[in-house]
Amino acid sequence: MSKDTGCWSVDLTIPSVRGAGKDFISDLLSALHGGGWSEHEIFGIHLAVEEAVVNAIKHGNRHDDTKQVRIRCQLDVDRLWIEVIDEGPGFNPDDVPDCTCDDNLDIPNGRGIMLMRSFMSRVEYSPTGNCVTLEKRRNQRQPA
């Protein structure tokens, strides 16, 4: 994150292969650390963003290496905004079973969505369901 502007942004496209988002996530975590975000916030953001990217590769594009995932990210002093778009057919997040419900505890689906919603300030899906927008508002400023 630039100390002059306090902003960091990325607009990139990655292939739909395992581990393709690793460099982006590493750069994002470095920018969050550099911006003085708390360890708790960074931990939650890491989990949420990793889930979004993995879901786009695995569920959206079904590991099809001819398809790509676009990631747009803007980080400023108090806010992180990320958009993850895949080339898959999309889905309706309301159709995913609530993984915290007793009847669904053994079903592996839905945990990533729950994690994103738990750790981010806002999680929204496009009407087609192949784009997720994540936003995190900083809880408190750390002393400089």
Interval 13-36: pLDDT, tens: 999 999 999 999 999 999 999 999
Q: Using 50, 70 and 90 to split pLDDT, how confident is the model at 144?
A: very low
| Separation of alpha carbons 129 and 96, rounded Å | 12
Structure confidence at residue 99 as a pLDDT band (50, 70, 90): low
Q: DSSP strand E in 1-144: where?
A: 8-15, 68-75, 79-85, 122-125, 131-137
Q: How confident is the model at residue 100 (pLDDT cuts 50, 70, 90)?
A: low
* Contacts for 38 with CB less than 8 Å, ≥ 6 apart: 139, 140, 142
**What does each C-alpha distance from 11 to 70, 75, 114 come to in angstroms?**
7, 12, 26
Q: What is the pLDDT of residues 34-46, one digit of tens each?
A: 999 999 999 999 9
The string of pLDDT tens digits covering residues 58-82 is 999 999 999 999 999 999 999 999 9
Delimit the domains of the chain by residue range.
Answer: 8-137
Q: Regarding the domain delimited by 8-137, which CATH topology (the fold level of the hierarchy) does it fall under?
A: Heat Shock Protein 90 (3.30.565)
Q: What is the pTM of this model?
A: 0.86
